[in-house]
Structure 1
């Protein structure tokens, strides 16, 4: 039987939803090219018509950047959706297994929060695909915003139901193993709620209807607070166990989960700030945005360095990336460079350029943008490497799902 060709991914875990999330995040990194390099007057985001107008100018550099962006959005957007469908099919069969019952009785029950996380990511990614590839979408966007909020609320209800089941179990009957909580795995619920919240914040930034924008502000604020509280609880519980028991080597990538959560909440706050300015006259100037983004980016760099230090100390790459053991938790490595790339783009364009500290498209601008592109390149390389490692048939692969 050991000679039968099989894919490591066939031994399924809910953490494989992170493969879909990572691909969706990469499509966002390519959308940043359009967001900050393509003029879109009168609109918060670029749409099909803005892209067509930019291509018509014949500017060689911009045309090349747009071509790369469109290809990246299309490829990784399609990968995001295909992996979501594949995971949903696997989940349907998984629910009836003993493995699912064991998961529901352990600390790992919160891994199921990867489902609403992936659903929210795909809705966000689908909106980007629509903006970029569907002509005339902006003319009906006001009708789409309420539908989008309903969809995100449905995902949010799912997330809170799953989180509530976990909390009810561990508070009513115990069973939470603090000694085995020596990672930041319990921040996954915060990741899911943050992703839902950033989707709910989009109408605040883009809608011309003050009522829609106001509802968006209220709902997204709720999810922002919920995510922030769970991050704080996860930090306290995780750090205590790590200091006492050492980190769980296979879950070491979770130590960088703060990085994508911070980017998502940062975008959420920027969207809210824009909505408050346009719909309610509350202004946040360029210097304030620069300082907000600088502080958020500082948090991300600190946690990224912390995580990389622990990965090196535990020999994670040798054991779980290039060794025989294959873990679905590998996909947690994709989100930090994606998040750093996206937030760095916002820090440069909305922060530094917005505050007048550097000139757009100047030497300093491109030098800093190169850093964001380097993070993106790392994420792309990781996705390609992990997809081959997990989805290519091999003989007798040693699969781990913890």
Structure 2
């Protein structure tokens, strides 16, 4: 594996670690949507054990695949995170780091809090499905998770503040931009937002839910504002000065942002139910029943998937025509972290596909589990996941383990 990159390092290498962590979460979706957990907001070790005891060979095989995939990819995520932290520490000692701080590439620093937020998310899911009786003490863990996400959000705010102050005083280099690179900032804050939304959705403590809710809204609003500013700026730079070949993968950055926003919405929806129940009990009013889904939820998830497919198809057409795949994905001649940007969109489509199928369609009675249409939809999701895994293997081979390293 390449090491001691020095001036050749880029914070975008964190996206390799991010992608592996995201794929670990994608395997967790097997537990989330295929194993029953009626008394818990997410599957835990005990609910998976109960499912194993009563399930047939097909579901047992899926559970095994879920565990092997989740643990393997999260382990790789941690290994690549450690490698990145070491390389980044060396990079900060070089003149190239100071050059980065005075260019559009400063936005690549947002990949650091983005990846760290994924670490917290991935570890929580891994612990929940492997540590016995963890849910008995989970209310004591949620505040620590909120602290972790707050620290990650603070780091993201630090990087963003420095970047915005610089471009407001020195100006933004539209000609040198050549892509949607700046959306990395919206991506990072969306990841922090969805992290805060987790305790808001899973906790029974109203204060924990309130703090999670507040953090999710705060960082979610920042993410939306950054998208509203940087998407047209990026489009303007591309239309006027053309898309830079190396930045072509940034055309897909909208895909993971849509997944994170959608999951944040679902989590906060569940959090509102908890707060509504707590308020009703405090006022002595009857607690209302809450539907697990609705047609409105289905429409919102469907819109998110549609937007993802639009950016994926458009970006794919461009990258196929301009030779990005040939030059940066299937070749070892150009060593750069840029193609690792392609991993998260594949992961994001897989994850949102699970939610759209099961929360949007199955829970609304529009598709029944086990039917040919359901199997077809699951096949499409699995193909997207396997294709992304193949892409990850290719990029690791060509970018992290090149023959001429």
Alignment partner, residue 294 of structure 2: 286
Note if 1:106 corresponds to 2:115: no
Alignment partner, residue 3 of structure 1: none
Note if 1:116 corresponds to 2:113: yes
- Assess if the C-alpha contact under 8 Å between 1:266 and 1:296 holds in 2: yes
CA distance in 2, matches of 1:317, 1:256: 14
Note if 1:7 corresponds to 2:7: no
Alignment partner, residue 285 of structure 2: none
CA distance in 1, matches of 2:174, 2:351: 34
Matches within 5 A, 1:200-219: 200-219=196-215
Report which stretch shifted further, 284-293 or 36-45. 284-293
- Per the normalisation by structure 2, the TM-score is 0.93
CA distance in 1, matches of 2:59, 2:367: 20
Relative contact order (alpha carbons < 8 A, sep ≥ 6): 1 or 2 greater?
1
Alignment partner, residue 141 of structure 1: 138
Alignment partner, residue 169 of structure 2: 172
- Which residue, out of 63, 68, 73, partners 1:66? 63
- Assess if the C-alpha contact under 8 Å between 1:311 and 1:317 holds in 2: yes
Matches within 5 A, 1:260-339: 260-281=256-277, 285-323=293-331, 324-339=333-348
- Assess if the C-alpha contact under 8 Å between 2:4 and 2:87 holds in 1: no
CA distance in 2, matches of 1:9, 1:55: 46
C-alpha deviations, 1:154-198, integer Å up to 9, x for none? 000000000000111111233x21112220000111111111110
- Which residue, out of 383, 387, 395, partners 1:378? 387
* Offset of residue 259 of structure 1: 0.2
* Offset of residue 245 of structure 1: 1.3
* Offset of residue 320 of structure 1: 1.4
* Secondary structure, counterpart of 2:243 in structure 1: coil
Note if 1:368 corresponds to 2:377: yes
Alignment partner, residue 250 of structure 1: 246
* Secondary structure, counterpart of 2:129 in structure 1: helix
- Per the normalisation by structure 1, the TM-score is 0.94
CA distance in 1, matches of 2:165, 2:26: 38
Alignment partner, residue 186 of structure 2: 190
* Secondary structure, counterpart of 1:42 in structure 2: coil
* Offset of residue 321 of structure 1: 1.7
C-alpha deviations, 1:201-220, integer Å up to 9, x for none? 00111001112112211110
- Consecutive unaligned residues in structure 2, runs of 5 or more: 278-287
- Assess if the C-alpha contact under 8 Å between 1:290 and 1:354 holds in 2: no
Cα RMSD after superposing both structures: 1.5
How many residues end up aligned between the 2 structures? 390
CA distance in 2, matches of 1:209, 1:83: 35
* Offset of residue 58 of structure 1: 4.6
C-alpha deviations, 1:112-133, integer Å up to 9, x for none? 1110011001110010110111
- Assess if the C-alpha contact under 8 Å between 2:3 and 2:87 holds in 1: no
* Offset of residue 34 of structure 1: 0.5
C-alpha deviations, 1:248-288, integer Å up to 9, x for none? 11110001100001101100110000111233159574211
CA distance in 2, matches of 1:26, 1:246: 32
Alignment partner, residue 283 of structure 2: none
CA distance in 1, matches of 2:267, 2:341: 26
Note if 1:152 corresponds to 2:149: yes
- Assess if the C-alpha contact under 8 Å between 1:15 and 1:111 holds in 2: yes
Pair 264,9 (structure 1): closer, same or farther in 2 beyond 3 Å: farther
* Secondary structure, counterpart of 1:43 in structure 2: coil
Alignment partner, residue 126 of structure 1: 123
Alignment partner, residue 79 of structure 1: 76
- Which residue, out of 19, 35, 40, partners 2:37? 40
C-alpha deviations, 1:297-327, integer Å up to 9, x for none? 1111111111111111211111212232122
CA distance in 1, matches of 2:28, 2:192: 19
